[in-house]
Chain A
Amino acid sequence: MNSSISAISILRFLIILLIMFIFLAPFLWIFLASFRPNMELVRNQTLIPQNLTIENYVSLFTKSSYWQWVINSTIVSFYTVVLSLPMIVAGAYSVYRTQYRGRNVLSLFLLSVYIFPTALLVVPIFKIFSGLALVDSHLGCALMNTAFAVPFGIWLLQAFLKSLPPELEEAAAVDGIGRIRTLFQIIIPQAAPGIIAIAMFAFIVSWTEYLFAMTLLLSNDLHTLPIGLTGIVFGQYRVNWGFAAAGAVGSALPVFILFLIVGRWFIRGISAGAIK
């Protein structure tokens, strides 16, 4: 191997290492911090922890409504995925595969969801959802999350669909297999990685959503994780960093586990079928 090539690849590797460090090290840091007593964190900023404790987690699990929040977040995310998936699949199939006037305009229209400052949709949404009895319900939150996940999800999935060979549908058409059946028994199984990816996408959108959950969920026992976490950390004058760290880890952990299990499908599914 040519030594100059090696030098470049080493440099590249180091830069990538640095980048990964920047993105992931904070998590490691907060993870370590969550096991240190608050006093130590405030007073003593050494890198190596001197006292390890789980008191922060104990507080988190017993003195706060952590588990309730996790359950609520899971419920809302579940609803979100269940609502978004059919819409994204149908929408992506429609955009990608069929022809009708104004198709391009419609998909741009869907992207308009991202134009309006969310902070101010809050008041009108509250009014509208009150009228629909969707306030203080997990379903209402899920509906909002779906609206934000679907347009981009459609765009992602239709890119994936484009990588499927067109002969597949032509063969099905010549064989007399109806459109719906083709969609469900041929297209969707073939698009499985892409569909998993957008399901994860919708899940994450829902899991991280704060503003509308905060607005729409009035009762404390319906609160999701972001609401709970924000409350315990930012509601106080002096921040208990250890506790906050534990809260942060507790909120990040489910996502972490999700990625452990299905992480590789995410990248595979978004990669327009190139990684087959």
Chain B
Amino acid sequence: MSQQDFKSRDSKLGLFLVLPPVLLVILVVILPILSGVQISFTSQRVVGSEYEMVGLKNYLDLFGDKNFIASLGRSAVWVLANGFFQTFVALLIALLINQPFKGQNFARTWIILPWAVPAAVTAILWRWMFDATSGIINTSMMGLGMIEKPALFLANPEIAGISLTFVNSWRYVPFLTIIFLASLASVPEEEYEAARVDGAGVWLQFKSITIPNLLPTLTVLGLVGTLWASNVFDIIWMMTRGGPGVSTTTVPVLMYDTAFYGYNISKASAGAIIFLFILIIFALVFIILNRRQFIMANETFKDLSK
């Protein structure tokens, strides 16, 4: 006859504790999604206006809409560029900063500033720095003779996306770096010491100690980071409004524009739902492929049997 374990006796308490966040998420996410689904089946143009049910019309329109398909492509490129690039760079920086050096505390505390300020500040900062006539980047590059004409960072359709990727990365990499730093710090120093005594070089230490310990964090950040990147809206909107032309119009931008400037919230909702579907599938695949890492990132401390 076995009794309830020390931990699972508290299953009621555990559920109770986690209830408020769950309710909040339902309110703030699930309900709006349901509402959005409902709107997407209508022909509603503006909040409060009349509408009728049109079934899958919006969806079918979108599948045939070249703009929409193009924006899906742009979102894909955006996510690839931002999601992986940022995680990779953040990890590198974290590794660099992890070893002690003069000013390490300063670096660790302040590097996060770009993430901690409102997007508008970032937008102002970089729009000005990128500016063709008065921006510091252009003037320095021209002054040094590197280029003859000012680079139109935000006005040139070909490099606008790259400029925005840079700005977005500038904004989020510090945050990811801090998380990685924390994760790195939790690896016991003795493991590295033992490896060093055993003669393992830096690369081997990295491969067999750092990476395995970092994997849960890396996985969670990989997923969350990608989701965040795919949904970036404010920076793009504030800096280029999706332009020049449509070169930086990702799905969120297009949908926002469709909803509030194209006065077609039902179509926009449909587009968002499609995008949501894609993201859900991506997330599910990602989670299933990496489920061990997610469970590790989540587990309670085990029964330590001595």
Binding site for B on A (CB under 8 A): 9, 12-13, 15-16, 19-20, 22-24, 26-27, 29-30, 33, 41-43, 45, 47, 86-88, 90-91, 93-101, 103-104, 106-128, 143-144, 146-147, 150-152, 154-156, 158-159, 162-163, 166, 170, 173, 179, 204, 207-208, 210-211, 225-226, 229-230, 233-234, 239, 241, 244-245, 247-248, 251-252, 255-256, 259, 263-264, 266-267, 270-275
Contact = CB atoms under 8 A, between A and B. Distances in A.
Given A248-B121, A255-B117, A91 B7 contact: no
28 contacts: A12-B96, A13-B102, A16-B96, A24-B111, A26-B129, A29-B129, A30-B128, A42-B134, A97-B14, A98-B14, A114-B231, A115-B231, A118-B231, A120-B268, A124-B35, A155-B220, A204-B116, A208-B117, A229-B121, A230-B238, A234-B123, A239-B128, A247-B124, A251-B117, A251-B121, A267-B178, A272-B185, A274-B187
B99 to A, nearest CB: 8
B26 to A, nearest CB: 9
B197 interface: no
Contact of A143 (B5, B24, B93): B24
B96 A251 contact: no
Contacts of A96: 300-301
A147 B29 contact: yes
Contacts of A22: 170
B22 interface: yes
A120 B28 contact: no
Interface stretch (B58-66, B152-160, B275-283): B275-283
Q: Report whether over half of chain B's contact residues are helix, strand or loop; otherwise say mixed.
A: helix
A273 B223 CA distance: 24
A272 B183 contact: yes
A9 B110 CA distance: 21
Contact of B275 (A101, A117, A270): A117
A90 B18 contact: yes
Given A16-B101, A266-B178, A272-B182, 15 more contacts: A12-B96, A12-B99, A26-B114, A26-B125, A113-B25, A116-B32, A117-B275, A118-B252, A123-B39, A150-B21, A150-B25, A166-B301, A226-B119, A251-B118, A272-B186
A170 B13 CA distance: 17
B304 A166 contact: yes
A115 B227 contact: yes
Contact of A113 (B29, B265, B268): B29
The 8 A-B pairs of least Cβ separation, nearest first, read A98-B14, A124-B32, A124-B35, A100-B11, A274-B185, A120-B272, A94-B17, A147-B28
B116, B217, B230, B265 interface centre (most CB from chain A within 10 Å)? B116
Contacts of B109: 259, 263-264, 266-267
Interface in B143-198: 170, 174, 178-179, 181-183, 185-187
B298 A103 contact: yes
Contact of B124 (A24, A30, A173, A179): A30
Contact of B182 (A47, A123, A124, A270): A270
B186 A226 contact: no
A180 to B, nearest CB: 8
Nearest to B107: A20
A95 B22 CA distance: 12
A109 B11 contact: no
A155 B297 contact: yes
B28 A113 contact: yes
A259 B93 contact: no
B115 interface: yes
Contact of A119 (B96, B228, B252): B252
Nearest to A167: B304
Given A90-B20, A123-B39, A124-B36, A104 B294 contact: yes
Interface of B: 5-8, 10-15, 17-18, 20-22, 24-25, 27-29, 31-33, 35-36, 39, 47, 93, 96-97, 99, 101-102, 105, 107-121, 123-129, 133-136, 139, 170, 174, 178-179, 181-183, 185-187, 217, 220, 223-224, 227-228, 230-231, 233-234, 238, 251-253, 255-256, 259, 265, 268-269, 271-272, 275-276, 279-280, 283, 287, 294-295, 297-298, 300-301, 304
A146 B21 CA distance: 9
A117 B276 contact: yes
Given A210-B234, A230-B238, A252-B117, A274 B186 contact: yes
A146 B265 CA distance: 26
B174 A23 contact: yes
Given A16-B97, A103-B14, A127-B47, A27 B111 contact: no
Contacts of B182: 159, 267, 270-272, 274
Nearest to B24: A147
A33 to B, nearest CB: 7
A256 B110 CA distance: 9
Contacts of B6: 170, 173
A95 B298 contact: yes
A100 B8 contact: yes
Contacts of A112: 25, 29, 283
Nearest to A166: B301
A53 to B, nearest CB: 17
